[in-house]
């Protein structure tokens, strides 16, 4: 179910309190016991039951009766907390349409001081263990629900964007809260969906950006035609949560995969006379 700005705007303060309590308690419990939740919120049993019912109807919380009656915050509730927080700061003033859904993120358009993109990281249940093994920034918590993994994923991408913007063509990070990154909106599309009039020039621009990121200590880690965007003026590299440092034990392999993906795409679609080995040499200097 997509996020609804009206749902978030109309959340009662007791419902915000309940979502916040669930967020904190899920670091200790897989399913937060009802009595523990009632104690943490300070709400009466009837009030809590009513608020939980409303939150479950909006698909922000789910419940279980086995092995005891308990509750869990789910992604839509976590997204609501993040959006509520950035809207209070003024970073986001309006929520627009959903722009896309990926394996580990949902992106919406929005408004802040200008047009922005809102990227909600969602490290899902199926991919969680794979992500935890492959991304060294994931801490070893005993209780580590996917919503918290998503916060770490968002922080990883935000830090990369913050370090790279101004030197590499990436979206400018505006704000971060939990699993949400607010960034400048790029009015374009992935090169996979475009027919480039000047593919050789775009390829050169992409290589220069990859080279610039490498010089600053960042290897994208998941680069392909699906996360290189063009807007009619320039190319942009997006989606940075899987970046690695050039000192990473697998850095050479990861960089080679990135460069191979890009070269293969331009060779296949535009028949460019380019070499993976020569491109790699250019990137690493």
Q: What is the DSSP code string of 145-204? A: -HHHHHHHHHHHHHHHHHHHBTTBS-PPEEEEETTEEEEEPP-SEEGGG---S-HHHHHH
Q: Name which of 73, 42, 48 is nearest 60 in CA terms.
A: 73
Alpha helices in the chain (DSSP H): 5-9, 13-25, 34-41, 45-57, 75-89, 128-134, 146-164, 199-215, 251-270, 276-284
- What does the pLDDT read at residue 2? 85
| Selection from 85, 77, 84, 20 nearest residue 54 by Cα | 77
SS3 98: strand
For the chain, 285 residues long, give each residue's pLDDT as a single digit of tens: 889 999 999 999 999 999 999 999 998 998 999 999 999 999 999 999 999 999 999 999 999 999 899 999 999 999 999 999 999 999 999 999 999 998 899 999 999 999 999 999 999 754 444 444 444 555 555 555 788 889 999 999 999 999 999 999 999 999 999 999 999 999 999 999 999 999 999 999 999 999 999 999 999 999 999 999 999 899 999 999 999 999 999 999 999 999 999 999 999 999 999 999 999 999 998
Residue 136, pLDDT score:
53
| Residue 193 C-alpha from the chain's centroid | 21
Active-site positions?
222
* Residue 5, C-beta contacts closer than 8 angstroms, at least 6 positions apart: 94, 95
d(C-alpha 181, C-alpha 188), whole Å: 19
Q: Which of 235, 243, 161 is nearest to 192 (CA)?
A: 235
Q: What is the per-residue pLDDT for 142?
A: 56
């Amino acid at each position: 179910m997509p996020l609804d700005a009206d749902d978030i705007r109309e959340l009662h303060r007791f419902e915000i309190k309940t979502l916040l309590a669930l967020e904190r308690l899920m670091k200790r419990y897989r399913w937060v016991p009802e009595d523990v939740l009632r104690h943490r919120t300070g709400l009466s049993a009837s009030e809590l039951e009513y608020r939980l019912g409303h939150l479950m109807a909006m698909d922000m919380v789910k419940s279980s009766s086995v092995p005891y009656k308990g509750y869990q915050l789910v992604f839509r509730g976590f997204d609501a907390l993040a959006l509520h927080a950035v809207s209070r700061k003024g970073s986001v003033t309006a929520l627009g349409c959903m722009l896309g859904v990926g394996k580990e993120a949902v992106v919406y358009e929005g408004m802040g001081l200008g047009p922005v993109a809102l990227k909600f990281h969602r490290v899902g249940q199926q991919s969680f263990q794979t992500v935890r093994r492959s991304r060294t920034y994931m801490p070893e918590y005993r209780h580590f629900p996917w919503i918290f993994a998503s916060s770490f994923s968002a922080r990883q991408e935000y830090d990369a964007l913050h370090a790279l913007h101004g030197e590499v063509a990436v979206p400018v990070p505006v704000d971060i809260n939990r699993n949400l990154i607010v960034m400048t909106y790029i009015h374009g599309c992935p090169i996979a969906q475009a027919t480039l009039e000047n593919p050789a020039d775009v390829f050169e621009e992409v290589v220069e950006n990859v080279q610039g990121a490498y010089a600053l200590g960042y290897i994208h880690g998941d680069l392909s035609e699906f996360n290189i965007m063009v807007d009619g003026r320039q190319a942009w590299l997006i989606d940075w949560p899987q970046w690695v440092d050039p000192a990473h034990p697998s850095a050479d392999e990861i960089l080679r995969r990135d460069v191979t993906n890009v070269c293969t795409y331009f060779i296949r679609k535009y028949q460019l006379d380019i070499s993976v080995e020569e491109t790699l040499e250019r990137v690493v200097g």
